[in-house]
Amino acid sequence: MCLGLSRSIKAVRGEPAAQRSKSWPRRRAAHTRRREHGSQNKEGEPPPAPREPQPKMPQRSLHAAAVLLLLSLKEQPSSSAPVNGSKWTYIVKMNLPPGMHIQGLQSRYSATQLHLHWGDQNDPHGSEHTIGGKHFAAELHIVHYNSDRYPDAKTASDKSEGLAVLAVLIEMGSFNPSYDKIFSHLQEVKYKGQEVVIPGFNIEELLPERPYEYYRYKGSLTTPPCHPTVLWTVFRNPVQISQEQLLDLETALYCTHVDDPSPREMTNNFRHVQKFDERLVYVSFQEGIILSVALAGVLGICIVLAVSIWLFRRKKSSKKGDNKGVIYKPAIKTETEAHA
């Protein structure tokens, strides 16, 4: 795999991780729903070669909206292709072989690259998605494009249902040897334009525990012009990296060339969380549905209690109003009456 430092014409923060394959395990549901049609042959063209059958993955019902299938990533050989610079933002990215793809969607989504978003030493909250309002230290994106409909990721980036991105939230914790297979090479791509070929490894190692628990929704790219062409799958569970690893990520890279007299650190390359509008989010784990029902139940109870208290106070106030102006005097027996 080839790791390189990409530079943009303008440094722009990435987009919220909340808005972001045509063949991973079958159909699933999490952050966004998706619909796809296969490519059609032009008249006179020979039919395409039959595709290798994909292994079926275990299925699990969600709710009426969708079916969940376990995600799987297969180990692929290293890619020796150079990393091209990003036009929009400063990132470090790694090319991925197109043989790696997502199963489970109506179209095949082939891998193209992975990259990271992070903050800085003073504010290590560089994730583009939040869960329950919680920001994370960094976020990994594994980008795929609809290879059934488009020839490459660049062409697909502004097309309908063109991209699918897997988002892994990263928090500070214990040392992560899998992520160190990337971080250990950061010093070799310290400046703009530098590239390094690193040994291939199983990308599945970068995923969190229980990767079948995720959110899915239709959203946009997090870099301008932020095309709304992405099917986002955001894993529920974060992965951990050590404080030292996070510090390496926050301080190792520069947006400028090695001989630039004014070097600029590559930090805060994320886009702030955006308004969610009325997007439909699929949840692949039952706990999420139960939690939603529980929260709705608690809210309902609170409303009932509030209304009951209001009615009680109103009734009490009404009684006081009826008695207004009435003067109560104690009955006083005269001494004469007492001796009568």
Residue 333 pLDDT = 53
Task: Determine, yes or no, domain membership for 337.
Answer: no
Task: Determine, yes or no, domain membership for 34.
Answer: yes
Whether 3 and 148 share a structural domain: yes
Whether 274 and 312 share a structural domain: no
* Distance from C-alpha of 20 to C-alpha of 163, rounded to nearest angstrom: 8
Task: Determine, yes or no, domain membership for 159.
Answer: yes
* pLDDT at residue 145 is higher than 70: yes
What number is the average pLDDT over the span 245-269?
A: 89
In this structure, of 35-39, 103-107, 264-268, 314-318, the range with the lowest mean pLDDT score is 35-39
In this structure, of 42-56, 101-115, 158-172, the range with the lowest mean pLDDT score is 42-56
Whether 279 and 300 share a structural domain: no
Residue 126 pLDDT = 87
- Pairing relationship of beta strands 163-172 and 230-235 according to DSSP bridges: parallel
- Domain finish residue from 239, 261, 284: 284
Whether 60 and 160 share a structural domain: yes
| Res. 320 pLDDT band, cuts 50 70 90 | low
At 115, list the tokens. Answer: 């990259």
In this structure, of 35-39, 118-122, 270-274, the range with the lowest mean pLDDT score is 35-39
* pLDDT at residue 328 is higher than 50: no
- Domain finish residue from 284, 307, 331: 284
At 213, list the tokens. Answer: 């628990």
| Residues 62 and 309: beta-carbon distance below 8 Å | no
Whether 299 and 264 share a structural domain: no
Residue 292 pLDDT = 58
The alpha carbon dihedral of 36, 37, 42, 48 has a sign of positive
Whether 190 and 309 share a structural domain: no
Whether 60 and 195 share a structural domain: yes
| Res. 276 pLDDT band, cuts 50 70 90 | low
Whether 310 and 239 share a structural domain: no
| Residues 20 and 141: beta-carbon distance below 8 Å | yes
* pLDDT at residue 325 is higher than 60: no
* Distance from C-alpha of 267 to C-alpha of 249, rounded to nearest angstrom: 9
Task: Determine, yes or no, domain membership for 329.
Answer: no
CATH no. for residue 71?
A: 3.10.200.10
**pLDDT 10s digits, 178-231:** 999 999 999 888 888 888 888 888 889 999 999 999 999 998 887 777 888 899
* pLDDT at residue 5 is higher than 50: no
Count of structural domains, the chain: 2
Whether 163 and 192 share a structural domain: yes
Whether 134 and 274 share a structural domain: yes
Whether 235 and 302 share a structural domain: no
pTM above 0.85, yes or no: no
Whether 249 and 275 share a structural domain: yes
| Res. 15 pLDDT band, cuts 50 70 90 | very low
Task: Determine, yes or no, domain membership for 340.
Answer: no
* Distance from C-alpha of 220 to C-alpha of 305, rounded to nearest angstrom: 41
| Res. 11 pLDDT band, cuts 50 70 90 | very low
User: DSSP per residue over 223-237, as a string?
Assistant: STT--S-EEEEEESS
Which domain range does residue 310 map to? 285-321
The overall average pLDDT reported for the chain is 71
Task: Determine, yes or no, domain membership for 243.
Answer: yes
**pLDDT 10s digits, 70-129:** 232 322 333 333 333 332 345 667 888 888 888 788 899 999 999 999 988 888 888 999
Residue 324 pLDDT = 53
* Distance from C-alpha of 58 to C-alpha of 340, rounded to nearest angstrom: 99
Task: Determine, yes or no, domain membership for 328.
Answer: no
